[in-house]
Every structure is written in C-alpha cells, then in structure tokens.
C-alpha cells in the first residue's frame, strides 16, 4: 500500500502478509493461534501434508475459532503428496474468504527440502494481493465486487509501487524469487532484463525447465523462478494495466524495481 492510503486490515501478528514461517522438511511444527478478531476464523495450511484434523476447514475438520479463543495447530512439515520435498507454501484463513483473505489473512510457509540444494545468491519471497479500499467510507471490502475499477490497490508484500522498494541483486549471480499469489485474481508476472526458469510450482520441483519471461499465477498458486540479471535497473511487474495503478493512477501497484550491480 502507498503511504497515504489507509485500509482496514486483518493481520497475523500485526503485519500483512503474516510472518513467513520457514522450517526444514520433517520438523515438528506447533503453532498456537489466538483469535483477536471480532469474527470467527481458522488457519489453513495450503499445500502442506497436515493431518486431517489440522486442515483448518470450519465445520469439516474443526469448529471455527471464536473471537478470543485459541487453537493449537500441530503437524510435521512436509508437502502434501511429496513427503521428501520442499518449497513455497501458504497459510491463510478458511472462513469468509471473500472478506478475510482480501483483508490480509495470509502468509508464506517455506519448507526446505531434505536434500540440500545449492543456495542462490538471493532468495526472496514476493507475495501479490489486491485490495478494495472504499475511498468514501475508508472500509476494506472483498475484491470481487465487480463495480467499475475495483479492486483499486495491488500490493507486493503489502506495498504498492513506488513503496515496493528496490530489490538489490548482484549482477550475473543466481537469484531465486518465490512468487506467491495470495490474491483472488490471476496475475501474469513479467520480468525485464533476462529470461527465467520456473524451478518449482506450488512447492514442487517443476519439470518445465524452459526459459520464459512471464508466469501467470492463478489465485493461491506459487512459482519459484531463478535467473541471472545483467547490470541495470530492471522491473518485475504484472502485465495487466489496471494492476499497475493505485486507484487508477499509474505507475503504481504491482511493480518491483530490481537493481542489479
Ligand atoms: Cu495483475
């Protein structure tokens, strides 16, 4: 979000996106969740191989957590469908998703795979999402209102361009970006300056190792991409024009400056 735009948000530990949780495959995870919101909620561990009772689906695997109540989620960190793997996952609310997701209840969950892989020079996570900030009431609404230009704000790690900052990378060195779509709509993310390989989709190693310059993430999808940039100031941006504005004013929204030196 830009500095002058205020929104009403729901947040995990006071920040949007919520804190990134990073653990090794096989590590025991115990998360004590206390609901300080005025509404019921749960936490779903998206793509992670949790026991059924920890899946966070209200009315199916647990009762929704009431305001003021707590629930402890316990599981062993493993990707669903690939017990030895690792990659980029999500956690998010599974109650009233149309309202609670766009208001900020999501975060990144990284599982490091059992097999050690050579770490890139830069390993960063960019979480994309949308906001519908009502300029008249100051309220934040769900994003699927379909009224005119809504949603009107688009954020990377909670910030809209120009407040998305500059990602500094060493020229010619391997850079990994973990792209996470925590929003409700698809975003074709395009990189300037070089081509990249998709090394993982949805937390699993990708078999498509061809070079490309755009990857479209549907709602809830992730792509880990790797590339080497020549020297210069490059950008990664969504290719949908409206997503490059702040309430219709461009340039804004989903633009990440990358400085390679
Ligand atoms: Cu977009």
pLDDT tens digit string along 10-20? Answer: 999 999 999 99
Tens digits of per-residue pLDDT, 23-36?
Answer: 999 999 999 999 99
Q: How far is the CA of 179 from the centre of ligand 1 (A)?
A: 12
- Lowest mean pLDDT segment, chosen from 116-120, 182-186, 229-233: 116-120
- Predicted confidence band of residue 118 (pLDDT cuts 50, 70, 90): confident
Q: How far is the CA of 7 from the centre of ligand 1 (A)?
A: 20
Tens digits of per-residue pLDDT, 60-72?
Answer: 999 999 999 999 9
pLDDT computed for residue 7 by the predictor: 86
Q: How far is the CA of 1 from the centre of ligand 1 (A)?
A: 15
pTM: 0.94
Mean of pLDDT values over 226-247:
96
Q: How many CA atoms lie within 13 A of 241 on its CB side?
A: 3
- Predicted confidence band of residue 51 (pLDDT cuts 50, 70, 90): very high
Q: In the CATH scheme, what architecture does the domain 18-112 have?
A: Sandwich (2.60)
Q: How far is the CA of 183 from the centre of ligand 1 (A)?
A: 9
122-260: in CATH 1.10.3720.10: no
Q: Do domains 18-112 and 122-260 have the same CATH topology?
A: yes
pLDDT computed for residue 5 by the predictor: 81
Q: How far is the CA of 254 from the centre of ligand 1 (A)?
A: 7
Residue with tokens 């599982």: 111
* Distance in angstroms (rounded) separating the CA atoms of residues 136 and 2: 17
Q: How far is the CA of 112 from the centre of ligand 1 (A)?
A: 28
* Distance in angstroms (rounded) separating the CA atoms of residues 114 and 117: 9
Domain boundaries, the chain: 18-112, 122-260
Nearest to 213 by CA among 232, 224, 227: 227
């Amino acid at each position: 979000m830009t500095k002058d735009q205020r929104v009403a948000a729901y947040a995990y530990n006071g920040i949007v996106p919520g804190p990134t949780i990073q653990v090794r495959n096989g590590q025991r995870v115990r998360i004590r969740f206390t609901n300080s919101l005025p509404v019921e909620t749960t936490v779903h561990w998206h793509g992670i191989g949790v026991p059924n009772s920890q899946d966070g689906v209200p009315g199916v695997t647990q009762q929704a957590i009431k305001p003021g109540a707590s629930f402890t989620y316990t599981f062993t960190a493993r990707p669903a469908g690939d017990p030895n793997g690792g990659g980029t996952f999500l956690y998010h609310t599974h109650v009233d998703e149309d309202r609670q997701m766009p208001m900020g209840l999501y975060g990144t969950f990284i599982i490091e795979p059992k097999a050690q892989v050579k770490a890139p020079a830069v390993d960063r996570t960019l979480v994309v999402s949308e906001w519908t900030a009502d300029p008249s009431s100051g309220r934040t609404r769900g994003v699927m209102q379909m009224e005119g230009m809504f949603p009107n704000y688009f954020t990377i790690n909670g910030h809209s361009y120009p407040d998305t900052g500059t990602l500094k990378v060493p020229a010619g060195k391997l850079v990994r970006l973990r792209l996470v779509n925590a929003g409700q709509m698809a975003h074709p993310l395009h990189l300037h300056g070089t081509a990249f390989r998709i090394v993982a989709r949805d937390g699993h190693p990708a078999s498509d190792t061809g070079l490309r310059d755009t990857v479209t993430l549907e709602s809830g999808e992730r792509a880990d991409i790797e590339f080497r940039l020549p020297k210069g100031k490059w950008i990664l941006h969504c290719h949908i024009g409206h997503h490059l504005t702040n309430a219709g004013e461009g340039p804004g929204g989903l633009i990440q400056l990358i400085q390679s030196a």
